[in-house]
Amino acid sequence: KIEDAQMIRKLEHQVWGEEVVNKYDIPMYIHFGYVYIAKYESKIIGAITAYMTNKGDVYVCDLVVAKKFRGNKVGEKLYRKLLKSTKGKDIVSFLDPKNIPTLNLHKKLGAKIIAKVKNPYGLNKGLEKDIRFFVRIKNS
């Protein structure tokens, strides 16, 4: 729901210390993409946001789970919901190679590393050493 957008952004800021998906993007994902949330006692404790690329893949922008709830398969359940709703479309994303739990989850879901990319978002000249893995999950 649109009203969940602010709670998703707040969770991202708590976990990542920065805005990952801006306030204008989340309503667009809700209307035209994919957004799934996990709640505990009416609070959002996890979210996955994605959209369809012009090549027909589904690009995962963010997967975030509150630190307190990690290790409880919240992220995996969110990802499996996305996979189920996008059957037949491959899932792609950039991953931080230092984030071992995320790498392990993607490996468990069948992700293959397609490329290593320097500064994939082109945000800042100081990030040239910022390496991300570009991964693909075949979702047939």
pLDDT at 4 over 90: no
The 10s digit of each residue's pLDDT in 60-101 is 988 999 999 999 999 999 999 999 999 999 999 999 898 899
Tokens of 61: 């922008």
Rounded to two decimals, the pTM is 0.81
Of the listed ranges 1-15, 31-45, 46-60, 64-78, the one predicted with least confidence:
1-15
Look at residue 7 in the predicted model and tell me its pLDDT: 76
Q: Residue 123, exposed/middle/buried by CB under 10 A (0-12, 13-18, 19+)? A: exposed
CB 6 within 8 A of CB 30: no
Report how far residue 137's alpha carbon sits from residue 113's, in angstroms, rounded to the nearest whole number: 9
- Greater confidence, 50 or 12? 50
